[in-house]
């Protein structure tokens, strides 16, 4: 298994728009080959901060996901909404 965690911070005034974009991305990404799970979380104390937790069959599937049209469209749409660069980190499960 291959895991990807992404922390996305948007400008507070566009939180609801960003949430809609991210929910659409999640729905489409769950259909990608090798996607075992794709979850979206919103920080309770800072609602303009989102976290995705993705589980992929393998690294190749995660990399292929990043090249899909829906990821490209989401990145283009989210660009002006971001308050900073998203932090995206890949993990391997140990236990």
Query: Tens digit of pLDDT for each residue in 42-86?
Result: 999 999 999 999 999 999 999 999 999 999 999 999 999 999 999
Tell me the C-alpha distance between 11 and 32, whole Å.
29
What pLDDT is stored for residue 39 in this prediction?
99
Judged by DSSP in three states, 43 sits in coil
**What domains can be seen in the chain, in order of their start residue?**
2-91 (3.30.70.100)
Tell me the C-alpha distance between 27 and 35, whole Å.
11
What pLDDT is stored for residue 90 in this prediction?
97
> What residues does 2 pair with on adjacent strands?
56
3-state class percentages of the chain: helix first, strand second, coil last, to nearest 5: 40, 35, 25
Query: Are 3 and 93 in contact, with CB atoms under 8 Å apart?
Result: yes
């Amino acid at each position: 298994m291959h895991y990807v965690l992404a922390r996305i911070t948007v400008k507070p005034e566009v939180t609801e728009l960003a949430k809609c974009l991210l929910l659409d991305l999640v729905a489409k990404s769950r259909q990608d080959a090798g996607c075992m799970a794709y979850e979206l979380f919103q920080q309770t104390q800072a609602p303009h901060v989102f976290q995705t937790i993705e589980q992929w069959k393998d690294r190749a599937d995660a990399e292929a996901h990043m090249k899909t049209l829906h990821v490209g469209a989401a990145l283009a749409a989210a660009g002006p909404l971001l308050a900073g660069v998203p932090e995206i980190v890949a993990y391997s499960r140990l236990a």
